[in-house]
Amino acid sequence: MASPTVTLVAASPNPAVSGQSVTLTATVTPAPPATGTSTGSVTFVIGGTGGGTFTQPLAGGTATFITSGPGAGSHTVTATYNGDTNFATSTSAPLTQVVNPANSRTTISSNPNPSEAGTLVDFVAFVEAIPPGDGTPTGTVTFTLTNGVGAITINTTVDTNGFAFVEVPLSAGNWDVDAFYAGDANFGASGVSEYTQVVAEPESDTVTTTVS
């Protein structure tokens, strides 16, 4: 008859942030008065978005699984020892793994800068996760361009690489450019300001007439 076992599960770090690696550790021990070392495998079940079911080998009574998949929120985690010839299966008490939204960082660039009035200027915002967070933020960036007289506001979507693009012609003068990322379920909002786009008056063509 297989001896009963006790399975415990732990997570580190807890809480974590979106995209951060979390190590799950299951420890399997014989229930007293039984002794010995259990063999076989442990199945981790992670609930919620980005979770799943993952089976790992047991070595020296311990099994580990590293994941960065769960999205922001609370996730229920259990570990089930699947048993072997000498030891019976057992399941841990549920553990709550908390994943918070990661911080983001937004930067901005433009081309050309300086530019000429009436010509198109390409503005690029790049949104990235700040470690230990990882992954690519999604959602919307709002560009706001002001020159002391008027303002231009443009919303654009962050692409799969974290970039947001706008193309706009501007009148002559110095333009203050802000880019604000609104955040999503897994990444917090961030923005950048105090970026200056210099726009010069177009060069005039000078015609020289020679009188003989």
CB atoms within 10 A of CB 198: 14
pLDDT tens track, the chain, 212 positions: 899 999 999 999 999 999 999 999 999 999 999 999 999 999 999 999 999 999 999 999 999 999 999 999 999 999 999 999 999 999 999 999 999 999 999 999 999 999 999 999 999 999 999 999 999 999 999 999 999 999 999 999 999 999 999 999 999 999 999 999 999 999 999 999 989 999 999 877 655 556 65
Spatial neighbors of 37 by CB under 8 A, at least 6 apart, are: 60, 61
Which of 43, 67, 100 is at the close of a domain?
100
CATH number, domain with residue 117: 2.60.40.1930
| CA contacts within 13 A on the Cβ side of 8 | 6
Give the C-alpha separation, 79 to 75, whole Å.
13
Query: Where is the domain boundary, 67, 100, 133?
Result: 100
Tell me the backbone φ, ψ of residue 179, rounded to 5 degrees. -130, 125
**Could you tell me how many residues make up the chain?**
212
Residues 108 and 95 in one domain: no
Q: What is the pTM of this model?
A: 0.88
Closest CA to 128 of 152, 110, 103, 146: 103
